[in-house]
């Protein structure tokens, strides 16, 4: 299982570097049709891999469950993907100038309810 965490750490570092590259090197004013999707995809990858890594470390640190390593990584991956989806949708709403504070809260609440429904299994 440590090899999975090492792979996740490498994926997180690569995705953060790609996000920073898109953020600093691609101009949305010159090429908006390539810059905005590249930004959203790199944001999704960076937040999902980093969120999965941090959540797996959090679940290992909290001794309130008796899960094995595979279950912890599975739950962390699901939560990381849901977190990345919420962050990407909020960023897309901001880019489209549709974001208000209550719509951001509603987006987060929807993903929290999805996680609670999946956690009840």
Q: Which residues contact 83 (CB under 8 A, 6 or more apart)?
A: 47, 48, 51, 55, 111
Question: Among 31-35, 41-45, 81-85, where is mean pLDDT lowest?
Answer: 31-35
CB count within 10 Å of CB 8 equals 19
Whole-number Å distance between alpha carbons of 102 and 81: 22
Q: What is the mean pLDDT of residues 51-70?
A: 85
Q: Containing domain of residue 28, as a range?
A: 2-119
- 120 pLDDT higher than 70: no
* Poorest-pLDDT segment among 9-18, 28-37, 90-99, 109-118: 28-37
pTM: predicted TM-score of the whole model, two decimal places: 0.88
Count of the separate structural domains present in the chain: 1
What is the enclosing helix (H) or strand (E) of 119? helix 101-119
pLDDT band at 27 (very low <50, low <70, confident <90, very high): confident
pLDDT value of residue 50: 94
């Amino acid at each position: 299982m440590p090899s999975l965490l090492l792979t996740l750490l490498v994926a997180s570092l690569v995705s953060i570097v790609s996000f920073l590259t898109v953020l600093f090197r691609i101009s949305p004013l010159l090429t908006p049709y390539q810059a905005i999707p590249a930004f959203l995809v790199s944001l999704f990858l960076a937040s999902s891999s980093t969120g999965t890594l941090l959540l797996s470390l959090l679940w290992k640190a909290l001794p309130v469950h008796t899960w094995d390593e595979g279950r912890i990584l599975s739950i962390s991956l699901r939560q990381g993907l849901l977190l990345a989806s919420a962050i990407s949708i909020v960023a897309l709403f901001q880019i489209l100038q549709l974001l208000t504070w209550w719509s951001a809260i509603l987006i987060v609440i929807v993903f929290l309810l999805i996680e609670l429904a999946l956690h009840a299994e």
